């Protein structure tokens, strides 16, 4: 990588932004190459970066001067404004929000699935990465699609409070502690109380349909990612906020084109470098959020088929939403764009 390229991490104080810094440190990017940006609320906050400390700056158009790569870990309305600003300043931009995911002129790239898109010509300098749930879904579907064909996927996503950012984590902490001492508190971040509850609404509902934007995003992103390769499996399901902090659990029913015995499905999943198969029911081995922190693989397990409908494969998966499902996609895509630019 060109060591003179300045990298801006925008939203560096957030759930994803902090993981971006950790991933850049793992990649050996020196602190001198970094500019860390957030809103004016966080101006001068100090973030640890290995042995060094980085002072957060307020995001302004001037902050992008001399920046070669901007990694946006910001809310979608903020990304929608800042993406073009960073691009106009000459930076490559990779965005973690939903701001550009439906924009056909912006490549949607999951670095473990379609990294070739980062070397192909495209208009502009902005790239979008899929949501944490879509990243995990595509990673699981891809090897099954290749081996057996996939017609349809039904998913229930159990999403930890960090899916709603730092504010979501804080709200769950406060409500849990409060309720244990007999105190109720009003919800601010989630639509209802999240402490000791399940909330089957993640993000706003679509204006014209009963799906939430999160759920509609899975269908759209799977169609964009698989559509570019030919056949698109239909992906649909329900997103639920659950009172855990980190890690998303996915309960999946996958309709295969050709029925496959569990052993063959397990072998296909095991062969994928994006996945780790944890499937030993007799030893109580299966994916759980408590096992996922910092793991770059998506964990899959509880593989089952059902004699009456042998083409349906049932499984459970867990992804580190902030790391694999967010920061790693940003950093891997961004560093590849810099290789292209060199
Ligand atoms: N959390 C996940 O599991 C996950 C996974 C994949 C993708 N994503 C996406 O990644 C993005 C960030 O999510 P998150 O969970 O990290 O959110 P978060 O914890 O709420 O962090 C948001 C970050 O954006 C900054 N920000 C807010 N308004 C800003 C502005 N006007 N100018 C500059 N910076 C601003 C915040 O700075 P302050 O600290 O100053 O407020 C903070 O650093 C979202 O689009 C989300 O959909 C999230």
Cα dihedral 282, 286, 291, 294 sign: positive
CATH architecture of the domain formed by 6-130+326-341: 3-Layer(aba) Sandwich (3.40)
What pLDDT score does 1 carry? 59
* 3-class SS string, 47-77: EEECCEEEECEECCHHHHCCEEEEEECCCHH
What integer best gives the mean pLDDT of the chain?
A: 96
> Which residue carries 């402490």 as its tokens?
195
Confidence of residue 2 (pLDDT cuts 50, 70, 90): low
For ligand 1, say whether the CB of 287 is within 6 Å of any of its atoms. Answer: no
Average pLDDT over residues 298-316: 96
Please work out whether the CB of residue 111 comes within 6 Å of at least one atom of ligand 1.
no
What pLDDT shows up at residue 224? 97
pLDDT of residue 228: 86
List the residue whose alpha carbon is closest to atom 41 of ligand 1.
39
Confirm whether pTM is higher than 0.85. yes
Q: Do domains 6-130+326-341 and 133-321 have the same CATH topology?
A: no
Domain edges within the chain: 6-130+326-341, 133-321
Q: At residue 28, does pLDDT exceed 80?
A: yes
Look at residue 56 in the predicted model and tell me its pLDDT.
Answer: 98
Would you say the CB of residue 247 lies under 6 angstroms from ligand 1? no
In angstroms, the first-to-last Cα distance of the chain is: 8
The CATH number of domain 133-321 is 3.30.360.10: yes
Q: Give percent of the chain with pLDDT exceeding 70.
A: 99
- What is the per-residue pLDDT for 185? 85
Q: 256-290: per-residue pLDDT in tens?
A: 999 999 999 999 999 999 999 999 999 999 999 99
For a substitution probing ligand 1, which of 22, 75, 161, 293 has the most ligand atoms within 8 Å of its CB?
Answer: 75
Q: Is the CB of 233 under 6 A from ligand 1?
A: no
165: Cβ below 6 Å to ligand 1?
A: yes
Give residue 4's pLDDT. Answer: 80
Tens digit of pLDDT for each residue in 108-154? 999 999 999 999 999 999 999 999 999 999 999 999 999 999 999 99
């Amino acid at each position: 990588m060109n060591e003179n390229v300045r990298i801006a991490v925008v939203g560096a104080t957030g759930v994803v932004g902090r993981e971006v810094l950790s991933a850049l440190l793992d990649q050996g990017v020196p602190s001198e190459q970094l500019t860390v940006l957030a809103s004016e609320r966080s101006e001068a906050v100090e973030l640890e970066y290995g042995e060094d400390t980085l002072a957060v700056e307020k995001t302004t158009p001037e902050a992008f001067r001399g920046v070669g790569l901007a990694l946006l870990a910001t809310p979608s309305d903020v990304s929608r404004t800042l993406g073009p600003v960073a691009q106009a300043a000459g930076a490559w931009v990779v965005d973690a929000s939903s701001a550009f995911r439906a924009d056909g002129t912006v490549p949607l790239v999951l670095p473990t699935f379609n990294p070739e898109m980062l070397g192909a010509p495209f208009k502009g300098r902005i790239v979008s990465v899929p949501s944490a749930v879509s990243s995990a879904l595509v990673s699981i579907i891809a090897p099954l699609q290749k081996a057996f064909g996939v017609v349809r996927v039904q998913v229930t996503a159990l999403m930890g409070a960090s899916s709603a950012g730092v504010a979501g984590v804080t709200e769950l902490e406060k409500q849990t502690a409060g309720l244990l001492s007999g105190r109720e508190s009003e919800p601010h971040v989630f639509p209802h109380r999240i402490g000791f509850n399940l909330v089957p609404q993640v993000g706003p509902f679509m204006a014209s349909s009963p799906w939430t934007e999160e759920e509609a995003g899975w269908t759209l992103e799977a169609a964009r990612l698989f559509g570019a390769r030919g056949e698109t499996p239909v992906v649909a399901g329900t997103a639920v906020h659950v009172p855990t902090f980190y890690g998303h659990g996915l309960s999946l029913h996958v309709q295969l084109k050709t029925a496959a015995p569990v052993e063959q499905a397990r072998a296909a999943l095991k062969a994928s470098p994006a996945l780790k198969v944890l499937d030993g029911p007799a030893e109580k081995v299966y994916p759980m959020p408590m096992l996922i922190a910092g793991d770059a693989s998506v964990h899959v397990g509880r593989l089952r088929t059902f004699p009456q409908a042998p083409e349906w494969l049932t499984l459970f998966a867990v992804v580190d939403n902030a790391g694999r499902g967010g920061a790693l996609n940003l950093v891997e895509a961004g560093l590849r764009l810099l290789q292209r630019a060199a």
